A and B are shown apart, each in its own frame.
Chain A
């Protein structure tokens, strides 16, 4: 390599952090400050939506650890949300344990159930995990629905209102925000550790990872289990948030929703998961708004809404995979003049 080129490239590398870190930090701080003061100024609807988005962010980050970072396809994510939701709801109803304990139990339960489905599938290369998680989706739905004495069957479980720090719903809002913050930072930091790096190594080339001394099967299991545990945390928050848990919250459509959030936001990017979850949570609302104003009077909106959502979820997955594999994060980077498309395609996973 010529000296000139080296100097150019080091300059470019040196220039980058200066340009990007400070504004990024400031915008994150503004966002956090905004979220802290939001309950005092925002309407009930806004607070509700922000809560829902935050819960979806947690679940999406979890799925991204499995799908984006480790390259394992899970199409039963909502079933693990369900495990967390039922576990924490049952804990609360029968034992009256505090929310934090319920969240941990929800995470552990989802982790354990995840391993039940993951262990047979992850010993083999290929897309077997996808089949196993599809089986998890159907069989866990079936258990939620049929084990009436515990899960309440189709009617599900109704939970009492929760009171955190004596602040009521606002207190719960802060709990959700704090959990989101902690889980996102934890996810970001895990990829600076040995374990997290080994996830990426396994995704890139499992043989090479094995040669480097990484236990591939154990790494895959941990990655899948962590993804399920994130879903468990999100599920236990969702149970408290909606104050009802029933089987229809945890269907295949919901799993496709989270997969779409990962793909749309950007695989292997925490920021991407956040953007994807925000986008995908708001999209059905926008769709409903558009439909209400675009369709003639008397058209049956409810009948159209759910299939239209399915079309949109599917089309977003397919469209982003074909045209922008880096997701919204890639679009934003490109908008800021960072055109690494060729490199991104080559290094895609």
Chain B
């Protein structure tokens, strides 16, 4: 019994990893540009399809395919920022959110037109062989996926914390006007944070799809990602990691002990409870105002 709980817990935490990456992408955009990106899930989906296209359809092999998919996703995100969101700076938040929602619809549509509604399987990069920790069995893809997510997240957070560009992003998120007057190129910061978001979503999408394949509906995990972001508090890079793993764990435990149908209520429940009890999230800055 205890063993079983432990096994489910490990699997749950491991599957929470994909939420971490997608939520990091959300947080960096929100911090740097104050845009609430409802297209996060669709950016995941589209990046995954780019990988599928470069790797399987164009036959570049998975290493080149991965690189091309990252570049493609970053490029796409930068085009969105420069082409659609930059002209709207200064307009009400509702307008910007509506635009990201429109973008998510467009991306879903393009994926449907280009690749069709059927499930596409990706090349198997991650080894299938399960990993045994004592008596506990963890599916190989999940475990290796988690390791890769850990590496990417650590690299991202180190870049964000220590590099010049990361410092510029943090400065911009603290105070745009001051940052600009100190010589930080705000426009470049916006572009960079969207590019980083593109790469992060692409990576999380590919790892998500490595288990079940990719369809245009892959972006539906966005609600789970939103639950993670809300729980962490929208602006906390470190908090997102903890919240992501927690939501993944909660989802697996509920799925295992209450049945799979209850699983879909988890993100909604988390969102609602956070709003009711602590709208700033667990680790968020006090940017949120009640009225």
Contact = CB atoms under 8 A, between A and B. Distances in A.
A318 B109 contact: no
A142 B290 contact: no
Classify chain B: how many residues form its interface, as a range: 35 or more
B106 A130 contact: no
Contacts of B261: 142, 146
A50 interface: no
B238 interface: no
B117 interface: yes
Given A67-B94, A125-B291, A304-B113, A132 B103 contact: no
Given A206-B291, A313-B105, A318 B272 contact: no
Interface of B: 36, 38, 84, 87-88, 91-95, 97-99, 101-113, 116-117, 216, 220, 223, 226, 230, 261, 264-265, 267-268, 271-272, 275-276, 279, 288-291
Interface string A247-261: 000000100100110
A120 B275 CA distance: 6
Contacts of B94: 67, 71-73, 127, 349
B92 A307 contact: no
Given A139-B264, A303-B117, A348-B91, A321 B230 contact: no
Q: Is the interface of B mostly helix, strand, loop or mixed?
A: helix
B265 A259 contact: no
A75 interface: yes
Contact of B93 (A126, A216, A317): A126
Given A311-B106, A314-B109, A128 B275 contact: yes
Contact of A124 (B87, B107, B271, B279): B279
Nearest to B280: A124
Given A131-B230, A256-B105, A317-B102, A124 B289 contact: yes
A192 B140 CA distance: 64
Q: Is the interface of A mostly helix, strand, loop or mixed?
A: helix
A163 interface: no
8 contacts: A128-B279, A138-B268, A217-B291, A256-B102, A263-B98, A309-B109, A317-B101, A321-B95
A124 B276 CA distance: 10
B99 A307 contact: no
A146 to B, nearest CB: 6
Nearest to A68: B94
Given A217-B291, A317-B102, A318-B84, A131 B271 contact: yes
Contact of A307 (B98, B111, B220, B290): B111
A191 B277 CA distance: 34
Interface string A39-58: 00000000000000000000
Contact of A349 (B92, B103, B108, B113): B92
A309 B230 CA distance: 31
Nearest to A307: B112
The 9 A-B residue pairs whose C-beta atoms are closest, nearest first, are: A307-B112, A314-B105, A310-B109, A311-B109, A317-B102, A314-B106, A120-B275, A318-B102, A314-B102
B88 to A, nearest CB: 7
Contacts of A308: 109, 113
Interface string A231-267: 0000000000000000000000100100110010000
Contacts of A315: 102, 106
Contacts of B107: 314
B271 A135 contact: yes
B268 A135 contact: yes
A217 B289 CA distance: 13
Contacts of A316: 102
Contacts of A71: 92, 94
A121 interface: yes
Contacts of A75: 38, 101
B267 A135 contact: yes
A154 interface: no
Contacts of A285: none
A334 interface: no
A322 B84 contact: yes
